[in-house]
Amino acid sequence: MDAPRTLFEKIWSRHRVLEREDGQTLLYVGRHLLHDGGATAFDVLRRRGLKPWAPERIFATPDHYVSTAGRRVEEIEDPRHREMVEKLARNTAEHGIRRFGLGDPNQGIVHVVGPETGLSQPGLLMVCGDSHTSTHGALGALAFGIGSTEVAHVLATQTLWQRKPRTMRITVEGRLGPQVTGKDVILAIIARIGAAGATGHAIEYAGSAIRSLSMEGRLTLCNMSIEAGGRAGMVAPDETTYAYLEGRPYSPRGADWEAAVTRWRELPSDAGAAFDTEVTLDGDAIQPMVTWGNSPEDALPIDGAIPDPETAPDAERRAQMRRMLDYMGLAPGTRLTDIAIDRAFIGSCTNSRIEDLRAAAAVAAGRKVAPGVTAWVVPGSEPVKRQAEAEGLHEVFRAAGFAWREPGCSMCLGTNGDIAAPGERVASTSNRNFVGRQGPGARTHLLSPAMAAAAAVTGRFTDVRRLLEG
Amino acid sequence: MEAFRQFDAVAVPLPQPNIDTDRIIPARFLSRPREVDHAQFLFHDARRLPEGGQDPDFPLNRPAWQPARIIVAGRNFACGSSRESAVWALFDAGFRCAIAPSFGDIFRNNGTKNGLLPVVLPAEAVDAIMAMLEAGPGARIAVDLPAQTVTAPDGTVHGFEIDPFAKHCLLEGLDDFGLTAGYEEEIAAFERRYGRENRL
Ligand code: SF4
């Protein structure tokens, strides 16, 4: 009998074109996603006189540089930003690549669009020139981010040279409490293993608490694998996956669907398959989380207080904590629930899907954004926006004083100009709280959509469970 | 790609963990094409004071470290975003090598594909080298890729591991395109097998 294999190994070996003696492997890319930040890769192709090898396997959508105030390209004020969106249109048109452009019913953040259109599927090897490509692993795909030289190589050959990463299984058993979401699970994981805890590894998330997550929750979880250093994060496909995928525009249909599901059922890691590293967490113990520093590893349960650098284990950490508290404008010992915010941002490829918006709207309903707080909701894609509007969520948000914007990356990274002012404190559902990530001097705290909405309506970080109890 | 063999240069210490690629080059400069000199964006905000003007205390701004062409940093250097312009900013400023206890995986790949050698040394070795650089600003480090060694300012020699493929490509200045061109038959044959199961 064959040795038991992991989900990762099954996908890796199915996409192996060849392996050199030195271990370097040429992998075939089943699906390649592009966004408007990738113009350089096409410049490389042009310089070398190359063309895309398999345009039918490539899909594109603009997200980083689009305006969230309007849908027309001309509404993008900064000519550099407009040029990025226009270049994507020109490059994809020139090479016959399917693009969900501005105004297309499927446009959105690339990591929202892939799963939602059914382009991301179990067992596929997927890449995109973006570190949050790990998101698509939630469907049981092996998906990872690459740099622009690698993007150019994938365009030209539909393949990529890689060395096999190590494997890590993160098992979360137990039942997640009310208002404990995929976001809280991944923040708890990163707080435990550190921002480099999974460097060099492909992660598989397992255990009853993971199984219980909806597809949206799993997408959030896998999205932030890179924030733990992991190249990829995956969840084995199951009934939740198949129910999510069935009937999506690019999902197989009819007999093809049946055949695909039969194949996908073979994917989960075999009993007894070995992982290089194992991590376990108690799902029952996870609380709603909020970050306080400039790395996603600096996360605390909402009832926590800002740690004191004097208690740091070593001088390096002490110095780092001091720098972070200085940048974040926080004093040791301050309770998270005593920290006032200036802005709330509900959006990004981490938390802008329909379930995220429903959770935030449930908190916003019948409440008002606190005085002095600017609160934005930026749906992840056109389909999310349509669905939310069909459910009346936009009215709920507007009535509460939230701005209801157009789909794009927006304040997650601010490349389109949506940024916070220096010193402003943002309750953000995005994935990175780095120095300057949401604008020079901006102070980012990461948390779930319901927690961000709770912060928006109370003006400070708030335990959403208490708020909803009334 | 520029080949890398031996490199001997002034090294600058950045004694912080988790220096992310947003720090190395802020996102608002990502719309610039490769032709633009990216040295001007290197640590653009980190090296400036909040009220404007250069921060004289930022290591790269200190006169002794302005000629630096090797970076020595804390663990998880260049984590975060896949932006290749983080490598371009370092490369255009003359950097050819970064030494740290660990790197963000994508940066490490991007570096080796652009003639910037990422060297992983044990944390104790990095700490010791950093202490020497702090004690004698302007001190040099020698990196020998064929021998896989780093020679610290005091003459201590540290061996390092590197993926043989990455080493080969860096030594020869080879890029992946040339290599893959020889395998077009294999890719086409793979596609015929693979396509049967994965209809589009
Ligand atoms: S939403 Fe943020 S993290 Fe996601 S792709 Fe856009 S910029 Fe990157």
Q: What is the pLDDT of residues B57-82, one digit of tens each?
A: 999 999 999 999 999 999 999 999 99
A131/B84 CB distance under 8 A: no
Domain B6-174 class in CATH: alpha beta
Between the alpha carbon of residue A7 and those of residues A205, A234, B110, B122, the distances in Å are 11, 8, 27, 32
Which residue's CA lies nearest to atom 2 of ligand 1? A412
Pair of tokens at residue A123: 């067992």
Nearest to A459, CA basis, from A335, A305, A342: A342
Pair of tokens at residue A175: 């039942």
Nearest to A367, CA basis, from A463, A454, A447: A454
Within 8 A of B199 by CB-CB distance, chain A residues are 252, 256
Q: How far is A413 from chain B (nearest CA, A)?
A: 7
B22/A57 CB distance under 8 A: no
Q: Phi and psi (nearest 5°) for A202?
A: -100, 130
B26/A436 CB distance under 8 A: yes
- What is the side-by-side strand order in the sheet with A125-128? A98-99, A58-60, A31-34, A125-128, A142-145
First-residue to last-residue Cα distance in chain B: 35
B85-92 and B105-112 are packed helices; what angle lies between their axes, rounded to 10 degrees?
50
Put residue B78 in one of left, alpha, beta given phi > 0 → left and psi -120 to 50 → alpha: left
Q: Which of residues 361-400 of A touch B (CB under 8 A)?
A: none
Q: How far is the CA of A407 from the centre of ligand 1 (A)?
A: 12
Between the alpha carbon of residue A359 and those of residues A245, A356, A365, the distances in Å are 22, 5, 10
Q: Is A150 on the interface with B (CB under 8 A)?
A: yes
A159/B102 CB distance under 8 A: no
Q: Where in chain A is the domain with CATH 3.30.499.10?
A: 7-278, 302-463
Q: How far is the CA of B186 from the centre of ligand 1 (A)?
A: 35
Q: How far is the CA of B28 from the centre of ligand 1 (A)?
A: 14
Q: List chain B domain ranges.
A: 6-174
Within 8 A of B124 by CB-CB distance, chain A residues are none
Q: Is A10 on the interface with B (CB under 8 A)?
A: no
Pocket test for ligand 1, best of A35, A107, A111 (most atoms within 8 A of CB): A111
| Residue-level pLDDT at B198 | 61
Write the pLDDT tens digit of every residue in A111-135. Answer: 999 999 999 999 999 999 999 999 9
Nearest to A361, CA basis, from A391, A405, A406: A391
Which residue's CA lies nearest to atom 5 of ligand 1? A349
**B114 to chain A: nearest residue by CA?**
A149
C-alpha A438/C-alpha A156 separation (Å) is 34
Q: Is A24 on the interface with B (CB under 8 A)?
A: yes
Other C-beta atoms closer than 10 Å to the C-beta of B58 total 16
| Residue-level pLDDT at A427 | 98
Nearest to A85, CA basis, from A101, A107, A68, A69: A101
Write the pLDDT tens digit of every residue in A391-439. Answer: 999 999 999 999 999 999 999 999 999 999 999 999 999 999 999 999 9
Q: How far is A389 from chain B (nearest CA, A)?
A: 31
Could you say which of B84, B163, B176 has the minimum Cβ distance to residue A153? B176
Q: How far is the CA of A203 from the centre of ligand 1 (A)?
A: 20
A1: confidence class by pLDDT, cuts 50, 70, 90:
low
Computed over every residue of chain B, the mean pLDDT equals 95
A147/B82 CB distance under 8 A: yes
Residues having CB closer than 6 A to ligand 1 are A 63-64, 109, 111, 130, 132, 348-349, 409, 412-413, 430-431
Q: Indicate whether B196 pLDDT > 90.
A: no
Computed over every residue of chain A, the mean pLDDT equals 97
What CATH number should be reported for the domain whose range is A302-463? 3.30.499.10
Share of chain A above pLDDT 90, in %: 98
Write the pLDDT tens digit of every residue in B39-51. Answer: 999 999 999 998 8
What DSSP string describes A75-127? G--SHHHHHHHHHHHHHHHHHT-EE--TT-TT-B-HHHHHHHHT-S-TT-EEE
The ligand 1 atom at the shortest distance from the C-alpha of residue A430 is 2
Which residue's CA lies nearest to atom 6 of ligand 1? A409
| Residue-level pLDDT at A360 | 98
A370: confidence class by pLDDT, cuts 50, 70, 90:
very high
Between the alpha carbon of residue B135 and those of residues A261, A410, B58, B64, B99, the distances in Å are 63, 44, 16, 12, 18
> In this structure, what DSSP letter does residue B164 have?
H
Within 8 A of A256 by CB-CB distance, chain B residues are 199
The ligand 1 atom at the shortest distance from the C-alpha of residue A352 is 1
Q: How far is the CA of B81 from the centre of ligand 1 (A)?
A: 9
Could you say which of A148, A158, A414 has the minimum Cβ distance to residue B84? A148
Average pLDDT over residues A339-365: 98
Within 8 A of A53 by CB-CB distance, chain B residues are 187
C-alpha B27/C-alpha A257 separation (Å) is 41
B31/A150 CB distance under 8 A: no
Write the pLDDT tens digit of every residue in A131-182. Answer: 999 999 999 999 999 999 999 999 999 999 999 999 999 999 999 999 999 9
How would you class A367 by CB atoms within 10 Å of its CB: exposed for 0-12, middle for 13-18, buried for 19 or more? Answer: middle
Q: Please tell me the pTM assigned to this model.
A: 0.97
Q: Indicate whether B199 pLDDT > 80.
A: no
What CATH number should be reported for the domain whose range is A7-278? 3.30.499.10
Q: Indicate whether B200 pLDDT > 60.
A: no
Q: How far is A217 from chain B (nearest CA, A)?
A: 21
Share of chain A above pLDDT 70, in %: 100
**B198 to chain A: nearest residue by CA?**
A30
B105-112 and A148-157 are packed helices; what angle lies between their axes, rounded to 10 degrees?
70
C-alpha B171/C-alpha B145 separation (Å) is 8
Pocket test for ligand 1, best of A146, A223, A409, A434 (most atoms within 8 A of CB): A409
First-residue to last-residue Cα distance in chain A: 59
Q: Phi and psi (nearest 5°) for B159?
A: -80, 150
Which residue's CA lies nearest to atom 4 of ligand 1? A349
| Residue-level pLDDT at B197 | 62
Could you say which of A50, A149, A165 has the minimum Cβ distance to residue B110? A149
In angstroms, how far is CA A316 from the centroid of its own chain?
30
| Residue-level pLDDT at A2 | 79
| Residue-level pLDDT at A470 | 72
**A130 to chain B: nearest residue by CA?**
B82
